[in-house]
């Protein structure tokens, strides 16, 4: 499983992935958003392969389902990451928590 340098990012990642990310429920999306924000503000990243490996280790889903979830979340991660970079550049938020 991916290990992040920042403990807060690691905790948020585990809290998100160990619950029910496949539900896309509001609470699960909030956990995902918290993870992505912490990831970006602490200068870390996760690749699609690392995300896939983490889901494979944590969830016993069929491969096609896992691939869809990973693809969905990775695209969301890229979009949110770009938006966070944009608001940092505009000095709307600071890079460290």
In this structure, is residue 94 part of a structural domain?
no
Instruction: Count how many domains the chain has.
Output: 1
Residue ranges making up the domain that contains 13: 7-89
In this structure, is residue 2 part of a structural domain?
no
Torsion of CA 26, 30, 31, 32, to 10 degrees: 100
Distance CA 42, CA 26 (A): 24
The whole-number pLDDT of residue 63 equals: 97
Whats the size of the chain, residue-wise?
97
Tokens 């912490």 sit at which residue?
Answer: 38
What is the tally of helices (H) and strands (E) in the chain? Answer: 4, 0
In this structure, is residue 95 part of a structural domain?
no
In this structure, is residue 84 part of a structural domain?
yes
In this structure, is residue 82 part of a structural domain?
yes
Tens digits of per-residue pLDDT, 30-88? Answer: 999 999 999 999 999 999 999 999 999 999 999 999 999 999 999 999 999 999 999 99
Tens digits of per-residue pLDDT, 9-18? Answer: 999 999 999 9
Q: Residue 93: is its pLDDT beyond 80?
A: yes
């Amino acid at each position: 499983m991916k290990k992040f340098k920042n403990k807060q990012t690691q905790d948020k990642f585990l809290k998100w992935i160990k619950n029910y990310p496949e539900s896309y429920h509001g609470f699960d999306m909030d956990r995902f958003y918290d993870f992505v924000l912490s990831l970006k503000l602490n200068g870390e990243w996760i690749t699609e392969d690392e995300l896939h490996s983490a889901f494979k280790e944590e969830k016993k889903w069929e491969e096609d389902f896992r691939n869809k979830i990973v693809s969905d979340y990775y695209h969301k991660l890229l979009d949110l990451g770009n938006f966070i970079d944009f608001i940092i550049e505009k000095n709307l938020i600071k890079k460290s928590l």
